[in-house]
Amino acid sequence: MIELSPSRPATVLVVDDDADIRDLIVGQLRQENYRLLGADSLTQLRQTLRDEPVDLIVLDLNLPDGDGLSLCRELRSEGSDIQIIMVTARGSAIDRVLGLELGADDYLTKPFEPRELLVRIRNLLRRGRSEPAAARAGAARYACFGPWRLDLVQRRLVAPDERLVMLSSAEYRLLCRFIEEPNVVLARETLLPERRATAAFDRSIDLQVSRLRQKLSAIEGGGELILTVRGEGYVLASGVDYS
């Protein structure tokens, strides 16, 4: 993502083949002083990304020339950190988790309240301005907790025997949130600040935590690192050191 500055408004690209929906979203965002772009297909989206600096994409999944999930996977495999909000009629928890694991930063189900989308865009762009975990840790390469090391550059787990465990984009972001505040109970709305209004009822976070736990439990001592505090949230039950 291109660094935002007070003199340069954020650029938001709205991608939807339904012109009415696209115009509705663009109209709602005009009040925020964003620089707004539109696209109605993956082909047009890719061309826009080649021609323009973009900070955030509002991405419909069902497009005439392909699936937005594939585009999201493609961008993340290229190392792009453009913020992505998926907007789709697919509303199951599995669909949300799949979208997040493929690299989306947020997921909103149609029909949606335009003001909710606006809040989520604000939160994601605000988060994009914050320093990454490695910078806050003094540009350390690894965050060490329990028997694991988290590689903050390659975004993967390293076991004591140097075996590597790959993390999805969603798993990496979730784990970073835990290591930023170890031994502190984090509520769902804290783990998912961009979905604060609905996080308490969003079970996709439970699925993400469960999948992360499975990977951490691959070695002895890793299975009890993330604990559930009933009625409150989750906690990383370990200290964190940086190296």
- 231 band by pLDDT with thresholds 50, 70 and 90: confident
Query: What are the residue ranges of helices labelled H in 66-193?
Result: 68-77, 93-101, 114-129, 133-136, 169-180, 188-191
pLDDT of residue 56: 94
Q: Give CA–CA dist 87/107, Å, rounded.
A: 6
In this predicted model, which residue has the larger pLDDT, 46 or 8? 46
Overall pTM surpassing 0.85 (yes/no): no
- 127 band by pLDDT with thresholds 50, 70 and 90: low
**Where exactly does CATH 1.10.10.10 map onto the chain?**
133-242
- 98 band by pLDDT with thresholds 50, 70 and 90: confident
pLDDT at 69 over 80: yes
Lowest mean pLDDT segment, chosen from 2-16, 165-179, 213-227: 2-16
In this predicted model, which residue has the larger pLDDT, 116 or 94? 116
Across the chain, what does the average pLDDT equal?
82
- 3 band by pLDDT with thresholds 50, 70 and 90: very low
In this predicted model, which residue has the larger pLDDT, 84 or 99? 84
Place of tokens 């005439």: 64
Q: Give CA–CA dist 161/141, Å, rounded.
A: 18
User: For 150-175, what is each residue's pLDDT tens digit?
Assistant: 988 888 899 999 998 888 777 888 89
- Give the alpha-carbon dihedral of 187, 191, 196, 199, to 10 degrees: -70
* Check whether domain 11-129 has CATH 3.90.1150.10, yes or no: no
pLDDT at 4 over 60: no
Percentage above 90 pLDDT, the chain:
31
pLDDT at 195 over 70: no
Q: With CA atoms as reference, report the closest residue to 56 among 77, 24, 81, 83.
A: 83
Q: Give the strands of the sheet with 164-166, arranged side by side.
A: 164-166, 156-158, 148-151, 142-145, 241-242
Structure tokens that stand for 13 in this block:
């690209």
* Check whether domain 133-242 has CATH 3.40.50.2300, yes or no: no
- 135 band by pLDDT with thresholds 50, 70 and 90: very low
Q: Give CA–CA dist 80/148, Å, rounded.
A: 26
pLDDT of residue 138: 56
**Where exactly does CATH 3.40.50.2300 map onto the chain?**
11-129
- 19 band by pLDDT with thresholds 50, 70 and 90: very high
Q: Give CA–CA dist 174/170, Å, rounded.
A: 6
- Burial of residue 187, with CB atoms counted within 10 A of its CB: 0-12 exposed, 13-18 middle, 19 or more buried: middle
pLDDT of residue 129: 54
Task: Of 41-50, 61-70, 110-119, 199-208, give the range with the top mean pLDDT.
Answer: 41-50
